[in-house]
A and B are shown apart, each in its own frame.
Chain A
Amino acid sequence: MNDRTFEEKMEQLEKLVKQLESGDNSLDASVKLYQEGIVLAKECHEELQKAEKMIVSLKTESGLKDFTE
């Protein structure tokens, strides 16, 4: 579940919202979609809020190294 990339989560979330909005679901199905959607939205939100320092590397002859300015 957590191996999904941010992009995959955002796209899944978008899909869920559209599916929920289609109105073709039973109440049970809607509640399930809603539940799943809220979990995803929270995950994405947290992932964005948590991300603090961006990792910057320098490509050298001997591979990637930490980049310091």
Chain B
Amino acid sequence: MERKFLTVSALNRYLKFKFDNDQNLQKILLKAEISNFKHHSRGHLYLKLKDNSASIDAVMFASSTKTLNFKPKDGDQVIVEGHISIYEPYGTYQLYIKKMDLDGIGDLYLAYEQLKEKLEKLGMFSEEHKKPLPKYPQNIGVITSPTGAAVRDIINVLSIRYPLARVIIYPALVQGVNAKESVADQINNANIDELVDVLIVGRGGGSIEDLWAFNEEVVARAIYASKIPIISAVGHETDFTIADFVSDVRASTPSHAAEIAVPSKTDLLNTISKYMDRMQTSLSRASEAANKYFKQVTQSNIIANPEKITENIKLKLIYLEEKLTAYKPSKQIEHYRENIHNYQLRFHQIIYTILRDKQNRFVSSTEKLDLVNPLSIMKKGYTIVKQDQTIKKSVTEIDESSNIDVEFHDGYLNCEILKKVVK
């Protein structure tokens, strides 16, 4: 009987086929302890997963390690998700890890909820206790790791928005067992130093374990006790820590905290130019009011002392021109000039009116005078008799031996006297 031989390759391929087609092996959820942990230079992780009596080889490829929230090491209790397959060249089976978390995360959530409830009952989250942030902080304290991305982001945003501020970094450990004391100590130190007007406390994103220091009571109490207002800036938008609830303002990220902490240069420049516009408008209004007042005054005094008023206005104009040209409200000066011009026109009119009035009066006076003018009377037929250039009012004054002149309004006659009769 002829026996049929398999090749090793065929066997391994067959076994792999069997493993890969078993639904139970394709989605494994395992609770175990890490041992023989090796971090391959290419980024793959090789380890054994074990319990008290058994172990299995496992691998986590570099492509999957991005989801890791902790640095695995021997002895870690972990929860692992993955599938079983055969490595054909050696015929060994192993667990291919897709996701791995530290066990005990459920405990962390419970602790978080309990502490949150406790502190809330103590009134540590109350709005009344929250301190307002300074509008223009001169000194900003930053409590975080001096080497992390958070500190860079914060410095970046602050220096763009408000380079007038000075920044003091209070270096703190932001993850690991000593982080909570480190952060709490630096909050206390900043309060002792009294060098800063506002504190940003936080770190960049990470796993719930990474952020855990900010869920510790000692940190919460340090924040609560701080006399300096605190902006919390822990992790990402979606991360809410106890520190966020106690702090005076919660920022979603470190960069956001920097934005909250200071006004923006651009906004301030806009505000300043708006202030300048508003002042200009107010000054225009004030000068208009003054113009009105001038008008009233000039109208009442114009006839009494016109030249004095022009003088005053001229002085005022010179005074205002000096002041205004210094700040170039050229429109104002133009406005005043126009006014002065109008006033001058009006003075001319008034003086002209006065003159015309006087002239009229003169004309009517001359008319009256005309009535008594002897020439006018002569026009009506009266004549003047003169002898030796003197006017004779009586016949008795006439010397019969010489001629007399009889004057009409338009000429005279030289006459010989033929007869003199005295009535």
**What interface size band does chain B fall in?**
35 or more
Nearest CB to that of B196 among chain A residues?
A: A59
Residue in B136, B193, B326 whose CB lies within 8 Å of A6: B136
Nearest CB to that of A20 among chain B residues?
A: B282
Interface centre among B135, B269, B283 (most CB of A within 10 A): B283
Q: Known contacts being A52-B163, A53-B159, A56-B167, is A25 close to B275, with CB within 8 Å?
A: no
Q: How distant is the Cα of A23 from the Cα of B282 in the complex, in angstroms?
A: 8
B287 with A54: CB separation less than 8 A: no
Q: Known contacts being A17-B279, A44-B272, A54-B155, is A27 close to B289, with CB within 8 Å?
A: yes
A48 with B265: CB separation less than 8 A: yes
A59 with B169: CB separation less than 8 A: yes
For the complex, is A55 an interface residue (Cβ under 8 Å from B)?
yes
A7 with B167: CB separation less than 8 A: no
Q: Known contacts being A6-B164, A7-B135, A38-B327, is A45 close to B279, with CB within 8 Å?
A: no
Q: Known contacts being A54-B165, A58-B169, is A27 close to B135, with CB within 8 Å?
A: no
Q: How far is the CB of B340 from chain A (nearest CB, A)?
A: 15
Q: How distant is the Cα of A67 from the Cα of B155 in the complex, in angstroms?
A: 11
Q: How distant is the Cα of A51 from the Cα of B158 in the complex, in angstroms?
A: 12
Nearest CB to that of B280 among chain A residues?
A: A34
Q: How distant is the Cα of A57 from the Cα of B138 in the complex, in angstroms?
A: 13
Main secondary structure of the interface of A (DSSP, over half): helix
A11-56 interface (Cβ within 8 A of B): 13-14, 16-17, 20-21, 23, 25-27, 30-31, 33-35, 37-38, 41, 44-45, 47-49, 51-56
Q: How distant is the Cα of A45 from the Cα of B290 in the complex, in angstroms?
A: 31
Q: Which chain B residues border A52 with CB–CB below 8 Å?
A: 163
For the complex, is B369 an interface residue (Cβ under 8 Å from A)?
no
Q: How distant is the Cα of A28 from the Cα of B169 in the complex, in angstroms?
A: 50
Q: How far is the CB of A16 from chain B (nearest CB, A)?
A: 7
Q: How far is the CB of B376 from chain A (nearest CB, A)?
A: 62
Nearest CB to that of A60 among chain B residues?
A: B171
Q: How distant is the Cα of A49 from the Cα of B272 in the complex, in angstroms?
A: 12
Q: How distant is the Cα of A26 from the Cα of B278 in the complex, in angstroms?
A: 17
Q: How distant is the Cα of A38 from the Cα of B280 in the complex, in angstroms?
A: 9
Q: Which chain B residues border A1 with CB–CB below 8 Å?
A: none
Nearest CB to that of A37 among chain B residues?
A: B279
Q: How distant is the Cα of A34 from the Cα of B320 in the complex, in angstroms?
A: 13
Interface centre among B136, B278, B282, B323 (most CB of A within 10 A): B282
B272 with A45: CB separation less than 8 A: yes
A51 with B193: CB separation less than 8 A: no
A38 with B278: CB separation less than 8 A: no
A57 with B167: CB separation less than 8 A: yes
B327 with A34: CB separation less than 8 A: yes
Q: How distant is the Cα of A21 from the Cα of B289 in the complex, in angstroms?
A: 13
For the complex, is A69 an interface residue (Cβ under 8 Å from B)?
yes
A48 with B168: CB separation less than 8 A: no
Q: Known contacts being A35-B327, A45-B272, is A55 close to B167, with CB within 8 Å?
A: yes
Q: How distant is the Cα of A58 from the Cα of B283 in the complex, in angstroms?
A: 48
Q: Which chain A residues border B155 with CB–CB below 8 Å?
A: 54, 56, 69
B163 with A38: CB separation less than 8 A: no
Q: How far is the CB of B339 from chain A (nearest CB, A)?
A: 13
Residue in B134, B159, B275 whose CB lies within 8 Å of A54: B159
Q: Known contacts being A7-B135, A7-B136, A69-B152, is A21 close to B282, with CB within 8 Å?
A: yes
For the complex, is B361 an interface residue (Cβ under 8 Å from A)?
no
| Chain B 263-287: CB-based contact to A (< 8 A → 1; otherwise 0) | 0010011011101101110110111
Sample (28) of A-B pairs whose CB atoms are under 8 Å apart? A6-B136, A10-B268, A13-B272, A14-B275, A17-B278, A20-B283, A23-B289, A31-B283, A34-B282, A35-B323, A37-B276, A41-B276, A48-B269, A49-B269, A51-B163, A51-B164, A52-B163, A54-B163, A54-B166, A55-B166, A56-B166, A56-B168, A56-B169, A57-B167, A58-B169, A59-B168, A59-B193, A69-B151
